[in-house]
Each structure stands twice: as structure tokens, then as C-alpha cells.
Amino acid sequence: MPHSVSLINTVAAGLGLALVLGFLAVRLRLPALVGYLLAGVIIGPFTPGFVADAEIAAQLAEIGVMLLMFGVGLHFSLDDLLAVRKIALPGALVQMAVATLLGGALATWWGWNLGGALVFGLALSVASTVVLLRALESLGILESFTGRIAVGWLVVEDLAMVLVLVLLPPLAEVLGSTAARAPDAAPVWQTLGLTLLQVGGFVVLMLVVGRRFFPWLLWQVTRTGSRELFTLCVVAAAVSIAFASAALFGVSFALGAFFAGMVMRESEFSHRAAEESLPLRDAFAVLFFVSVGMLFNPAVLIERPLQVLAVVMVIVVGKSIAACVLVLLLRYPLGTALTVSASLAQIGEFSFILAALGVSLGLLPQEGQSLLLAGALISIATNPLWFGLIEPLQKWLHAHSRLVPGLTQRDDPLAELPMSTEAKYLSRQVVLVGYGRVGRRIAAELAVHDIPFVVAEQNRELVEKLRAEGMAAVWGDAADPAVLIQAHIARARVLVVATADAINVRQMIEAARTLNPAIQTVIRSHNEDEARLLTLEAAATVFLGEQELAQSMARAVVSRAAPA
């Protein structure tokens, strides 16, 4: 050919093979991500046959990182994080510390130096936000309180890892880097101080100026009515801010893209921005995972099987147990603890980024990167299994109450109604599970009609607030019969499940029917199949979100369009 087509070859081979293997993975009930990683392995330098251009793949991967982190920023809400800060912040930081110690201990046992052990442990400590979001969406619990805790937990991990990525280069020599140091390089603490100053300046600029300018810019582009310009504005903002942050402030592409998404969220068009940029984000995200797969040497599975097993055990068992214990110690329900544990039983994009940085700085040995990639492939592939075990495991633990006697609600005043509760809340009342966006509106309507109700809610802070406002509320997971007993379900008229938590809704209904066979149930759902099964199997009145919206809109249209 008259000119180089390495870029075309790499993109065509990467996307084409990713499509085939991603499709096969989904058919085998595995995440498509596994197929993408395997596609990279096949076109990588460690397997026979066609080998893609690693340098071009790395540049495409950088764009993938930008767009991935831009997407995380678009989903990041400071209000949502503050709502779960009492569990997400300490939980994420302590869990990361435990996982880092476990991974670092393994690496030290293998004879690695301090820097390699630290990088390896940190890479094992952070889960993939992309994998988590897709898992929660497929289960229909992304908007539930448990889902918000899991997302908030991983957002804290992501922010901590962004800080690690910023601080690691200036600290590399102190940690035992084998990379050559420039003879005229500044002292490490001077470099560290300058780096923190640059990052601080960038953050302040984005929060003070960016939060006002970019939503305004998006509005101006929207006024043109051009969909192409709107999409171009969103993508250009993501890539340009990421590039400018690296060029002007010396911070990572990941941090710049994350803040680009976060300031875009301030716009009323943030949802549209997320939708318009989604196809491009998905395409480059696929190329990112393909490029990561190209770095994996399958020989590590044969040469170091015990080390791979140890890495997987830290990811799937060590991190999960640590997270579960932490959530229970913070006095949150068992269902929340199990969901967070399953969410963390994998590693992903930040682990890859940190591993690549560690190798380039001469801290992490090449075999460490291969072990991390092997751990990622196995943990991501098995992650749906752990989510599938949540409901049966929770049922088993509740059935064997001697193993979990008051596990999360022991001696907690919020776990039962006060002795001073009025009699009208103890009989013929409505038990309302969930006080989110839907639950609040139901509660307001019940109050207007003077119908007494008791709220069962997993958010401790919210229960405290409701109690202060004079409402009858109990804290806990309504899938636990003890919570429903405290809400006096045995004498209630109606059980209303207003939460989006689709995992435990059957347990709630079963527990309620056991305690009160005559109870009527009204359920919220966003999944047609789930709604149909609940209607048939549980004899519940189920309201499907899209269906109710369509019916309300249709009634409004008919009332306006019907002839007088």
C-alpha cells in the first residue's frame, strides 16, 4: 500500500474481534468486557498471528480513558455522595487500606521492593466503576439506596486513585524506582509540593470557573438546534479539558476528563450530554479494554498459577470480606453489605492505568502487570456470579438467625418505633418501604388524605431526619422480617415498596405475607419481565414506570385533543 494503515488495521481488528468475542461472552452470560479483553490478548504480541500496533493502541486507550472518566464525572453528583458520605468515605478508605496491605504483603513475600508492593496493593484495592454501573443497571438497583452507596463507595475510590496517580511520579525515587533520574531534577519534596499546587489550582479553576462557563457554553450550543454541534461540544470539552489539564497543570488525563464531566453535570442538559456521547464513549472504551488485553501475557497462567490464584483471592475474597465487615460495623443492613461486597469483587480500569504507570516508573515489575491483568480477567468474568448469590445467601443467613442475631440493628434505637408512637401508626396503617423520589411523593399524598403510614428506610441519616419531623420511621432492610415486625406489618393494611431495589422485593413480599397473610402489596418496577413475574407469582399490584408515564401522558393528550 502507498501509505501506512496501522491505525486502520488496529481499529478494524480491535473493534471487529471485540464484537465477536463480546457477543460470545454475553451469550455465555459473562460481561462483554471479558470478550474485549480477550480480543486484545489475541491481537497482542504474546499470541501468534496478527499483531496490532501497540503504540497506536496505547494512544487510542488514552482517549478511552478520557471518555470513560468523563462518563464517571457525568454520573458524579456531589449531593449523592454527601448523602452516603458516612458509609462511603470511611468504608472506601479503610477497605482500600486493607486491600493494599493484603496485596503489598503478597508482593513482599514474592521478594518485590517497597514501591512495587505498594503499587501492586493499590492496584488491587480499587474496583471498576464501569463494571459496577453496568451490573447495577442490569439488576435494576442503580437508583436504590444500596446502589447509591456502591456507586458513592467507588467514586471515593476513584478520587483516591486520581490522587495516587498524581503523587506517584514525584515519589517514585523515594519508593525505589529503577528508572533513571534526570541529573538536574528538583528535590522530591519540591516536586511534590509543586504537583499538589498545580492540582489544587486546576481543581479550583474547574469548580469556580468551569462550573459556570461550560454549562453556559452547552446552553449556547443547544440554542443553535444542531445535534451535531451539541455532540461535538460535549466530546470536545471532554478531550480538550483532559489535554489542557495535562499540558498546563501537569495532571493526568483521567483527572481532567473527570472534572470535565463533573462540571458538565451542572448543566440542565447533562442527561442529554451523557446520551449523545455514549456511543463514542462505548466505542473508545472498547478500544481501551482491547489495548489492555494486548498487554497480557497468557503464559503467566501456566508459569505462575499459584500467584494468579493468590491475586484472585485477594480481589474476590479479601476485599469482599473487608467491605462486608465494614458495612456491618457501620450498622447498615446485611443486603447492603452483600451488594457492596459483590460490587468490589473485581478490578478494572484504574488498576490498569496504575499498573502501566508503575511499570513506566520502574516500580512495578512486568510480571506484576501480567498478574493484575489475569486477576482482572478472572474477577470481571466471575462478578455476575457473586451478584447472583446475594439473594439466596441473604435468605440463608436470615433463615439461620442464630448466625446473624441482630447483626446490623443490635440495640439501635432507630431500628424500632419509639414507645411514644401514636396508636394510629400501629394498626391499619400503610408500611412504605423507601423514602426516595418516589416514596416522598407517595408519603405526601398519604398525608394529604390523612392516611397513617410507617416508613422503612435503609438510610440512617434520613430516618433520623424523619423522626425529627415527627414521622413514624424505622431503619433497616425491609427484606429482614425483623424490620417489618418493627413497622407493625402484622396489623397493616398495605405494603408499598417504593424503592428501586429489585433484588430483595420478593423477600419483602414473602416476609410480609408470612406475618400478615391478608396484606395487600403495591410494588414499583422498571423492568417489564420483573413486573410480569411479580404480578403472577406474588399477586402484587405492580406499577411499571414507563407504562404509568405513558398512560399519564396519553390521558393529558386525549383531554386536550378530544373534540369538545
Determine the length of the chain. 564
pLDDT for 137 equals 72
Select from 274, 193, 206, 190 the least CA-distant residue to 245: 206
pLDDT for 431 equals 92
DSSP code at position 546: H
DSSP code at position 523: E
pLDDT for 66 equals 80
**Can you list the alpha helix ranges (DSSP code H) found in 361-404?**
366-388, 390-399
Select from 346, 326, 319, 335 the least CA-distant residue to 87: 326
Return the axis-axis angle of helices 145-171 and 349-360, rounded to nearest 10°: 10
pLDDT for 24 equals 92
pLDDT for 107 equals 93
Whole-angstrom distance, CA of residue 131 vs CA of residue 404: 30
564 residues of the chain, pLDDT tens digit each: 444 578 888 888 889 999 999 999 888 877 787 888 889 889 988 888 888 887 888 788 778 778 877 876 776 666 666 777 788 888 889 999 999 999 999 999 998 988 889 999 999 999 887 778 777 777 767 667 777 788 888 878 877 887 787 778 777 777 777 655 555 555 666 666 776 777 777 778 877 777 778 788 888 888 888 888 888 888 888 888 888 877 777 666 777 787 788 777 767 666 677 777 777 777 887 887 888 788 778 888 888 899 999 999 999 999 999 998 888 888 777 778 888 899 889 987 788 888 888 888 888 888 888 899 889 888 887 888 888 888 788 777 766 655 554 554 545 677 778 877 888 888 889 999 988 888 889 999 999 999 999 999 887 778 888 988 888 999 888 877 888 888 899 899 999 988 866 667 877 888 888 889 889 988 887 667 677 777 776 677 888 877 777 888 888 888 888 775
Whole-angstrom distance, CA of residue 299 vs CA of residue 89: 39
CB 125 within 8 A of CB 95: yes
Whole-angstrom distance, CA of residue 242 vs CA of residue 240: 5
Whole-angstrom distance, CA of residue 380 vs CA of residue 129: 12
CB 250 within 8 A of CB 158: no
Whole-angstrom distance, CA of residue 473 vs CA of residue 482: 14
Q: What is the phi-psi region of residue 44: left when phi exceeds 0, alpha when psi lies from -120 to 50, beta otherwise?
A: beta
Task: Tally Cβ neighbours within 10 Å of residue 370.
Answer: 23
Three-class SS state of 194: helix
Task: Tally Cβ neighbours within 10 Å of residue 5.
Answer: 12
Whole-angstrom distance, CA of residue 243 vs CA of residue 257: 8
Whole-angstrom distance, CA of residue 89 vs CA of residue 376: 24
pLDDT for 1 equals 45
CB 354 within 8 A of CB 161: yes
Return the axis-axis angle of helices 114-125 and 349-360, rounded to nearest 10°: 170
Domains of the chain plus CATH, in order, are 6-395 (1.20.1530.20), 413-561 (3.40.50.720)
